[in-house]
Amino acid sequence: MKKSVLVIDDEEKISRLLQLELSHEGYAVEIAQTGKEGLEKALQHTWNIIILDVMLPEINGVEVLKQIRKVDKHTPVIMVTARNATTDKVSGLDEGANDYITKPFEIEELLARMRASMRHQLEPKATSSQEEDKPPYLQVDSLMLEPKTRSVVREGRRIELTPKEFDLLHYLMEHKNQVLQRDQMIQDVWGFDFVGDTNVVDVYIRYVRKKIDHGYKKKLIKTVRGVGYCIREEDH
């Protein structure tokens, strides 16, 4: 059976080209040209993957994704953004996008990202026994994180994080005292391969750092110039 793709894009030339190219690759492709139409189709049918443009009439792409994720946490979604629209990338990823691609793009790159996103969805999750082996909470100095309840506390004060901010902090704390490269973080936290655009990591680090370090004498998230980031209790 052919894998089904929903393309939500208001640029008729682009959506038609994608329909032809993806159909040629063996996908069953459906097109929607407004956010409202795209949302309706996304929720009415089951899709193997959704290609979603950010700039859409009626309802923008980020809001469409937000509504999809309220009822469907699993279908891979690739956001299509403008070349330098970091805010759109961050917003999309934080609402549950699996990946993003910037215009203009080559069809080969899109196909590779589609395969990676669908493959990532099929990867086996940790078994219950593996989960039981993990500690009930992670701690770095006065910062505590409980994975099961997704709660973060520092010095008795609860810290509210968005889902992706929590995932990033969780990853840092799981690898405390380790210097983590940006491309490694993109792959492990967001689940897609590094393609030379790591500014999303820097943006999220800034968000998380503001919430867990601002106002505290001891700063936990360290920048390792030219390499990446790490979280540790004291400078070495």
The CATH class of the 4-122 domain is alpha beta
CB neighbours (10 Å) of residue 160?
A: 9
HSE of 112 in the Cβ direction (CA atoms, 13 Å)? 10
**What CATH number belongs to 128-231?**
1.10.10.10
Q: Rounded to whole angstroms, what are the CA distances from 135 to 56, 81, 233?
A: 44, 39, 19
pLDDT tens string, the chain, 236 residues long: the values are 789 999 999 999 999 999 999 999 999 999 999 999 999 999 999 999 999 999 999 999 999 999 999 888 889 999 998 766 777 778 888 888 888 888 888 899 999 989 988 887 665 555 444 555 566 789 999 999 998 888 999 988 999 998 889 999 999 999 999 999 988 888 888 776 545 567 888 989 999 999 999 989 899 999 998 889 999 986 54
Segments making up each domain of the chain, as ranges: 4-122, 128-231
Kind and range of the H or E run holding 31: strand 28-32
8 A C-beta contact, residue 230 and residue 176:
yes
| Residue 126 CB burial class (10 angstroms; 0-12, 13-18, ≥19) | exposed
Taking the complete model, does pTM exceed 0.85, yes or no? no
